[in-house]
């Protein structure tokens, strides 16, 4: 018996995550959907950066990036990743780690089309993670792309989504005297049942 109630109550961790996200959207000043995404390179050296989570699906978390970026190369190589979402205003966080797959279809097209025109053109112009001579060089590339791609650019073939299907999710809430509440959801495979364990702070 884990004694889950209140903000931890529920039989589906993705519903809990969506509920917490909705609260964060009302309370957090900037980017409530920001996650610190962790990957490892081919040598096993860890890497981390902030990205924006764009969807909490029924069985996974989705974000988007340039497929030629360092993060994408690390995601493709390892096939696994982890992230943490921390909301200072709520004094809560969600951690997840699991299996990575690409979202490179209609859903990626729809999300790309929903972005502002400048963001869509910027996705074409930026050679993410690679050396850049100057900001002027980047802006010249944006101008070139604007002239060639027009006002309705298609999604670049090198840009799309990644889906993290978790094998582990942890919900954490701040407690008095650093006696925090932590509940870990674990499963052996994406199709397995969850096991829920209350953890020491």
Q: Could you list the active site residues?
A: 178
Q: Which residues does 79 contact at the CB level (< 8 Å), separation at least 6? A: 99, 100
- Contact between residue 133 and residue 86 where contact means Cβ atoms under 8 Å apart: no
Q: Which residue(s) pair with 101 in the sheet?
A: 163
**Exposed e or buried b per residue across 154-192, where buried means at least 16 C-beta atoms within 10 angstroms of its C-beta:** ebbeebbbbbbebbbbbbbbeeeeeebbbbbbebeeeee
The rounded radius of gyration (Å) of the Cα atoms in the chain is: 19
Torsion of CA 167, 173, 175, 181, to 10 degrees: -30
- Contact between residue 181 and residue 8 where contact means Cβ atoms under 8 Å apart: yes
Half-sphere exposure of 157 (CA within 13 A, CB side): 0
Phi and psi of 78, rounded to 5°? -85, -35
Q: How far apart are CA 143 and CA 141, in angstroms?
A: 5
């Amino acid at each position: 018996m884990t004694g889950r109630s209140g903000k931890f109550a529920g039989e589906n961790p993705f519903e809990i995550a969506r509920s917490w996200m909705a609260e964060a959207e009302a309370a957090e000043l900037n980017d409530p959907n920001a996650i610190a995404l962790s990957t490892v390179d081919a040598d096993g050296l860890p890497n981390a950066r902030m990205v924006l989570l764009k969807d909490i699906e029924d069985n996974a978390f989705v974000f988007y990036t340039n497929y030629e970026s360092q993060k994408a190369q690390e995601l493709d190589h390892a096939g696994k990743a982890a992230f943490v979402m921390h909301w200072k205003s709520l004094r809560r966080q969600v951690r997840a780690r699991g299996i990575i797959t690409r979202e490179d279809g209609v859903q990626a097209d729809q999300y790309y089309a929903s972005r502002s025109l400048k963001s869509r053109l910027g996705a074409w112009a930026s050679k993410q993670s690679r050396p850049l001579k100057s900001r002027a060089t980047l802006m010249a590339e944006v101008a070139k792309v604007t002239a060639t791609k027009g006002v309705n650019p298609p999604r670049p073939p090198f840009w799309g989504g990644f889906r993290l299907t978790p094998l582990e999710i942890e919900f954490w809430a701040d407690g008095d005297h650093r006696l925090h509440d932590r509940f870990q959801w674990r499963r052996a495979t994406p199709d397995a049942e969850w096991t829920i364990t209350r953890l020491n702070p």
